[in-house]
Amino acid sequence: MLRIRIGHDERSASWLTFPQQPGKIDLLYTEMQKDPPMIIYEAEASIPALPEVLKGMRTDAESARALACLTKRLEYLTQAEQALFSAVLKAEPPKSGKDILNLSYNLDNYELVAENHDPGQAGQTVRKVEGKTFQDMYQGEFPPDAGYDKNSVFLLHIYTGRKRYSLAVPTTPEKMEMARAALDLRSLNQCKFNQYGGPFQELWGYLPTKSDLKEVNRIATVLKEKVLSNHSYTLNFLKAVFLAECPRTMKEALSVVRNMGNYEFLDQVQEPGTYAREVIRSYGDPSLESLLDRYVDWDAIGQAMMKEHGAVQTRYGIVTSKKWCCERLSDETVVTRLYNQLTGVFCGSEGYDESFSATELTIFEKQIREELEQDSIFEQKTGLAEYMDNQLMKQRILSMFPAIEVYHHALWGVLQIESKGELTPDELEWTKKYWMGQASDGWGESFEQTDIECEDGGILNVHFYNSSMIYGPRTEQELKGVEAVQQGPQMGGMW
C-alpha cells in the first residue's frame, strides 16, 4: 500500500493512492511537467521507513512511474524482504522514486545482522554483502516486471482466467504460496504458465515442451546452483549440450543438467573434417596431419570418427560425452500429417463476397494447389519448422510443409511433418498448437490474403484457420482410421 500527499505547494497538495487508473495517472504525469516541481508532503506505506524517506522528495513523472511500479513490487516481497527493505531505506535513504524502486530489486546486496546490546535488548543493523553488484533495473522509461529477480534463471507468467502473477524461478515454498494465494487457487497445478523473460531466458527454448511448475523450479534450481555458478559453462556450452542430448522430458533434462561435467564442448570445431584434424593433432606428431592431407577425405574420416566416438555436431560446435543421458535421435524418418477442413471467401465479378465450405472448395482444388505450390514457404529447406522457437523440436523435426487433400468430398488443409523418429504424445500436442498458431497468425494469415484468381474472373481467399481448428487439427489416424493410414494418403500429387 502507498499513499502520498503531493502538490506544487503544501496548500494545494492532495492525496494520491497507488495504484491509480491509467487515465488519472496520465493526467498526473502531465501536471508534473509544469513548474514548480511537485513535492511529497506526507506519505503512508506498508513499509515503515518509506514515508519518512518520501517526505519532502521532489517528484517528476519518472519518479511517479517508479512509485506506481513500487506499489506492485511490494506485493511480491516476503515479510522478511519487507523488513530488510525498511531497514536499508532507513540506513541509506534514496533520493528519488527511481532509486527506491531500484533498491527493491537489489535487496540481496544487504543483510541484517544482530547488534551488540545490553542484556535484555535486541536489535539489528544493515550490512552490505561483499561481492554483490547493484543493478539499475529501472532506467526511467520502461519499469521492470514487479516479480523480476536479478538472481533468477527464468521469469514465468502464471495465470488462470483473468488473474495473472509473475514468478521468478528458482523460488522458495513461501513465494510459491504467495503466488497460489494471489491467484486464489487450491493448488498451482490448476494454473497455466509461460516463460516471459529472466536473466537466462535464452535457455528456455532448449528445454522439453512439456513441464509443470515444480519441474521448472527444480531444473532452475540445479541450473543456478550447479551450472550457471560455474563460469566455465558458457551459454553456448549449455545450448550445445541440450541440442546434442535432445531430452524429451523434464526428467531427462534434469539428468543432463546434473551430469554437465560429463560433456566436452569443442566450440571451435564446426564440421566433421575439423574434428578429424583435431583428433590427429592430439596424437602429438605435427607431421602426421600434413602427410595425410594428400591421401584422405577429412570430412568422410571425420564423420566416421564422430560416429565411433559418439560425438554430436550442433550449430554451436561438437559435443562429446563420457556417458550420454538420453536416447540418440533416430535415423528413421517418420511422416506425420495433421488435418483440418478449409474454408474460403469467394468474390465474384459482381463484387459480392460469398463464404465457401470445405465441400464447396473442392471445385477450386486445382487453383488452390497451384497457388500453394508457389508460396515462398517452399523456398525454406525445413518449411515452417524454420520458425519454431523450441530448439529441441527444431532438432527433432526435419521439415514441416502445408498441403491440401480432398477427403470424403471435402477439401482439407494438411500439415506434413517429417521427424527423426516418432513424435511422443507431448511433442505431437506441442506441434498441433504450433501449427494452429501458424495457421491463424503466421503463415496462414499471410496465405489467406493471397488472391487466387478463378476461371470465371472471381477471386478466392482460402483460410487454413477457421472454426474447425478450435479444438486442434486431427492426425491422419484420427481422421481416417488405422486401416486407411496404412494404405497411404492420396495427396493429389503434392508429394
Q: How does pLDDT run across 136-154, given as a tens digit for each residue? A: 999 877 889 999 999 999 9
- Residues 307-335 have a mean pLDDT of 93
Q: Is the pLDDT of residue 119 over 60?
A: no
Rounded Cα gap, residues 389 and 206, in angstroms: 9
Lowest mean pLDDT, pick from 23-27, 225-229, 275-279, 393-397: 23-27
Rounded Cα gap, residues 143 and 102, in angstroms: 10
In 293-449, which ranges are continuous DSSP H helix?
Answer: 298-309, 365-373, 391-396, 425-441, 443-447
Cell of 399: 521439415
pLDDT of residue 120: 52
Q: Please choose, from the candidates 60, 39, 139, 125, the residue with its C-alpha nearest in 3D space to the C-alpha of residue 86.
A: 125
How distant, in Å, are the alpha carbons of 246, 256, 263 from that of 250?
11, 10, 19
Q: Is the pLDDT of residue 483 over 80?
A: no
- Residues 379-408 have a mean pLDDT of 97
**Strand pairing of 2-7 and 397-407?**
unpaired
Q: Helices H, strands E: what count in the chain?
A: 18, 20
Task: Assess contact for 3 and 18: CB atoms under 8 A.
Answer: yes
- Residues 401-421 have a mean pLDDT of 97
Q: Is the pLDDT of residue 418 over 90?
A: yes
Q: Is the pLDDT of residue 112 over 60?
A: yes
pLDDT of residue 91: 94
Q: Is the pLDDT of residue 157 over 60?
A: yes
Q: Is the pLDDT of residue 489 over 80?
A: no
Lowest mean pLDDT, pick from 24-38, 119-133, 408-422, 424-438: 24-38
pLDDT of residue 243: 97
Q: Torsion angle, CA of 393/396/399/402, rounded to 10 degrees?
A: -50
Q: How confident is the model at residue 124 (pLDDT cuts 50, 70, 90)?
A: confident
Average pLDDT, the chain: 91
- Residues 84-103 have a mean pLDDT of 96
Task: Assess contact for 343 and 360: CB atoms under 8 A.
Answer: no
In 380-481, which ranges are continuous DSSP H helix?
Answer: 391-396, 425-441, 443-447, 476-480
For 348, the 3-state DSSP assignment is: coil
pLDDT of residue 492: 45
- Residues 220-244 have a mean pLDDT of 95
- Residues 270-282 have a mean pLDDT of 87
pLDDT of residue 494: 41
**Tens-place pLDDT, residues 31-40:** 777 777 889 9
Q: Is the pLDDT of residue 491 over 60?
A: no
- Residues 272-295 have a mean pLDDT of 83
Rounded Cα gap, residues 9 and 26, in angstroms: 20
Rounded Cα gap, residues 35 and 398, in angstroms: 63
- The whole model's pTM is what? 0.87
Q: How confident is the model at residue 495 (pLDDT cuts 50, 70, 90)?
A: very low
> What is the share, in percent, of the chain residues with pLDDT greater than 70?
94
Q: Give the domain ranges of the chain.
A: 2-116+123-128, 147-224, 230-328, 333-479
Under CATH, what is the fold of the domain 230-328? Arc Repressor Mutant, subunit A (1.10.10)
> What is the share, in percent, of the chain residues with pLDDT greater than 90?
73
Cell of 116: 551488540
Cell of 166: 509473475
**Strand pairing of 58-59 and 38-45?**
antiparallel
Greatest mean pLDDT among 28-42, 53-67, 100-114, 449-463: 100-114
pLDDT of residue 123: 66
In 173-226, which ranges are continuous DSSP H helix?
Answer: 173-183, 213-222
Q: Greater confidence, 217 or 122?
A: 217
- Residues 352-360 have a mean pLDDT of 94
pLDDT of residue 25: 66
- Residues 437-461 have a mean pLDDT of 93
Q: Is the pLDDT of residue 415 over 70?
A: yes
Look at the block and give the residue holding cell 531500484: 102
- Residues 394-400 have a mean pLDDT of 97
CA 426, 428, 432, 438 torsion: positive or negative? positive
